[in-house]
Amino acid sequence: MDFSLNEDQVAFKNAAIEFAGRELNEGAKQRERDREFNQAGWDKCARFGIQGLTLPQRYGGLEMDVLTSIAAMEGMGYACSDSGLLFSLNSHIWTCEMPILKFGTDVQKDKYLTGLANGSLKGGHAMTEPNFGSDAFGIKCKAVKKGNSYVLNGTKTFITNAPLADILLVFAVTDTSNKFSGLSVFLVEKSFPGFSIGTCEELMGLRTCPIGEVLLQECEVPEENRLGNEGAGAAIFNSEMEYERSCLFATHVGAMEKILEECIDYAKNREQFGKPIGSNQSISHKIADMKVRVELSRLILYKAAWMKAQGKRAPIESAMAKLYISESYVQNCLDAIQIHGGYGYSTELDFERHLRDSVAGRIYSGTSEIQRNIIAQFLGI
C-alpha cells in the first residue's frame, strides 16, 4: 500500500491551501458571531472547482479521484477558518453529489449534476427525524405511490444546508413490513409543493452553516425523482455513509495540522519562569501526542479513501476513520487551549471555535458510540 501523494496531488493540495487562505477567511469571525453563511465564499469555491472535485468533466467537474479530492479538502481544512462553509461543502459533495453520481439515472445526472458542480445548486441529505437519529432505519417519514408520483409526509431535523438547499436526498418508508428494504430515497426540490423549511437550529458550533428542519406535508415527488430502486434507500444510505465517514473528515485532519503548528510555535516562543513553556515535559509531551493523533488520523483517512478509490467497500475502515479523527480533533483542541492558557480560552484565538466545531464531529454521520457498535459488529461481537 502506498498512500503518498504524487507531485500533482501535492500541487493541487497546495493550490487549495493558497486559495482558501487568500479568499475565504476575511470576515469569518464576524460571520460566526452573526451565524451568517458565506455565499461569496461558496461562489469562489465553485469557481476554484471544489463543488465539482469528484464529478465528471461532462458535468463541469474536475473529475479528481477520491484521494486527490481528499488532499484538496485537507488543504481547505488547513487554511480556511470558516468551518461552517467547509461543512456545508462537505455535505453538498459527499451526501448529495456522490449518491446521485453513483445511483442516479442519466436523466437525473444531467438534470442536477451540472448545477451542483458549478455551485448554482446546493444539496444535502435528509435522514434524521425528531424521534429517529441513531436508529436511522426506524424513520417514519412515509412515501406513498399515487399514479406517477410519490406523496411524502414527515419531518426531518438537523439537516445540513436545508435552509438554503435547492435539492435534498430525502429518505422515506415505502414498505412498512421491512425496516431495511422498506426505505427509498427521493430527490426532492425545494420548489415541490408541500416542501418547506421549519426551525433553523442554533448550534454550539458550525455556526456559519445553515442547518434546519425539513417539513414534508403531502409533498408530491415525481416517480422519476426516486434515486435507485424502490427499497434501495438503506443500501444507498450505507454506501453514502462510507464516503462521508471516509472523506468528510479530511477537513478535520487539515485543521488539526494547522492547530499543531500553532502549538509548536507557541511552545517555543511563550516564556514563563524565564524559559519557553515547551521546555516543560508536560507541554512537549502534549504536543508529541497531538502529532501522533494527526499522523494516525491522516493514515486512517488515506487508507479509507484509498479503498473507496479502488471501488472497494470500506464499512469498518470508514467507521474507524470517522471515530478516530473526530475524537482526535476534540482532544487536540482541548490540548491546544491548555497549551495557550488564558489566551487559548479567549475568542481572540481560534481554538475555542475549533473546539465547538469539533464536538459536532462526534455526533453527525453517526455518533462515536454507533461507530464503536459498527466496529464491534464487524468483529463478530
Ligand X SMILES: Cc1cc2nc3c(=O)[nH]c(=O)nc-3n(C[C@H](O)[C@H](O)[C@H](O)COP(=O)(O)OP(=O)(O)OC[C@H]3O[C@@H](n4cnc5c(N)ncnc54)[C@H](O)[C@@H]3O)c2cc1C
**Pick 104 or 205: Cβ nearer ligand X:** 205
> Is 126 a residue that touches ligand X (CB under 6 A)?
yes
CB 161 within 8 A of CB 136: no
Q: Which of 41, 49, 75, 133 binds ligand X (CB under 6 A)?
A: 133
CB of 131 to ligand X, least distance (A): 8
Question: How many residues of this chain interact with ligand X, rule: CB under 6 A?
Answer: 22
Span of 143-151, 187-195, 336-344, 362-370 interacting with ligand X by CB under 6 A: 362-370
CB 55 within 8 A of CB 61: yes
Total residue count of the chain as it appears in this document: 381
Q: Is 213 a catalytic residue?
A: no
* Pairing outcome for strands 142-146 and 195-200: unpaired
Residue from 97, 240, 244, 317 carrying the catalytic annotation: 244
Q: Which of 158, 186, 195, 329 binds ligand X (CB under 6 A)?
A: 158
Q: Which of 81, 90, 91, 225 binds ligand X (CB under 6 A)?
A: 91
CB of 27 to ligand X, least distance (A): 22
> Is 364 a residue that touches ligand X (CB under 6 A)?
yes
> Is 199 a residue that touches ligand X (CB under 6 A)?
no
Q: DSSP labels for 214-252?
A: EEEEEEEEEGGGEESSTT-HHHHHHHHHHHHHHHTTHHH
> Is 211 a residue that touches ligand X (CB under 6 A)?
yes
What residues numbered 163-182 form the site for ligand X, per CB under 6 A?
Answer: none
Which residue in this structure is represented by grid cell 423549511?
197
> Is 134 a residue that touches ligand X (CB under 6 A)?
yes
> Is 128 a residue that touches ligand X (CB under 6 A)?
yes
d(CA 228, CA 233): 8
| Residue 68 CB neighbours (<10 A) | 21
> Is 377 a residue that touches ligand X (CB under 6 A)?
no
> Is 154 a residue that touches ligand X (CB under 6 A)?
no
Span of 124-132, 235-243, 265-273, 312-320 interacting with ligand X by CB under 6 A: 124-132
Amino acid at 339: I
Q: Where are the alpha helices (DSSP H) in 310-367?
A: 315-345, 351-360
Return the SS3 of 134: coil
> Is 361 a residue that touches ligand X (CB under 6 A)?
no
**Pick 104 or 124: Cβ nearer ligand X:** 124
Which residue in this structure is represented by grid cell 517555543?
268
**Pick 15 or 359: Cβ nearer ligand X:** 359
Q: Which of 41, 77, 119, 124 binds ligand X (CB under 6 A)?
A: 124
Q: Which of 17, 151, 172, 206 binds ligand X (CB under 6 A)?
A: 206
Indicate the angle between helix axes 83-92 and 39-48, nearest 10 degrees: 50
Q: Dihedral through CA 376, CA 374, CA 210, CA 139, nearest 10?
A: -130
Q: Where are the alpha helices (DSSP H) in the chain?
A: 7-23, 28-34, 39-48, 66-79, 83-92, 98-103, 106-117, 233-247, 250-269, 281-309, 315-345, 351-360, 368-378
Tell me the three cell numbers of residue 70. 481528499
**Pick 127 or 253: Cβ nearer ligand X:** 127
d(CA 139, CA 130): 9
**Pick 35 or 291: Cβ nearer ligand X:** 35
Q: In the bound complex, which residue of the shown chain has the CB atom lying closest to ligand X?
A: 133
**Pick 67 or 214: Cβ nearer ligand X:** 214
d(CA 233, CA 183): 5
**Pick 74 or 244: Cβ nearer ligand X:** 244
Q: Which of 302, 370, 371, 374 binds ligand X (CB under 6 A)?
A: 370
CB of 126 to ligand X, least distance (A): 5
Where on the chain is the footprint of ligand X (CB under 6 A)? 91, 124-128, 133-134, 158-160, 203, 206, 211, 360, 363-364, 366-367, 369-370, 373
Query: Which residues are designated catalytic?
Result: 244
